[in-house]
Amino acid sequence: GFDVLDILRNLNAFVSQHYYNINTQMFIERSSNNKFLRTTNIRHVANSIRTHGIGIMNTAVNFTYQYLRQKFYMFSQFLFDEHIKSRLMKDIKYFRENKDRLNQR
């Protein structure tokens, strides 16, 4: 399996190439040219902590925080784009005007 340091070094690639299965609590590779898909689960994380020490958790949290911060910033900039904002305003207006017909609150 993956080592947490490998994931952190290529966090952007990992996020784009894997999805999370909440039922099995593991990351599964989206597609691969290999015969098998790679998975990463809690056992892999625990092995990495044993190998690298508990200090890796601080690094992992910081890397993940910075990654999410960047993505949320890009998302907020996207929402403030005039085309997107105008479309969202039209949708809000439509849903408010048709609230009863759409059976929403």
Q: What is the pLDDT of residue 92?
A: 94
The residue ranges of every structural domain in the chain are: 4-100
Question: For residues 54 and 104, which has the higher predicted lDDT (pLDDT)?
Answer: 54
Rounded to whole angstroms, what are the CA distances from 37 to 30, 40, 41, 71, 100? 8, 10, 13, 26, 47
User: Which tokens hold the place of 4?
Assistant: 């947490």
pLDDT in tens, 29-48: 998 888 999 899 989 989 99
Q: How far, in Å, CA of 55 to CA of 13, rounded? A: 23
pLDDT in tens, 3-25: 888 999 999 999 999 999 999 99
Task: Determine contact, residues 27/39, Cβ cutoff 8 Å.
Answer: yes
Q: What is the pLDDT of residue 104?
A: 60
Q: How far, in Å, CA of 101 to CA of 79, rounded? A: 28
Task: Determine contact, residues 17/7, Cβ cutoff 8 Å.
Answer: no
User: Which tokens hold the place of 81?
Assistant: 């784009």
User: Which tokens hold the place of 66?
Assistant: 């910075």
pLDDT in tens, 49-79: 999 999 999 999 999 999 999 999 999 999 8
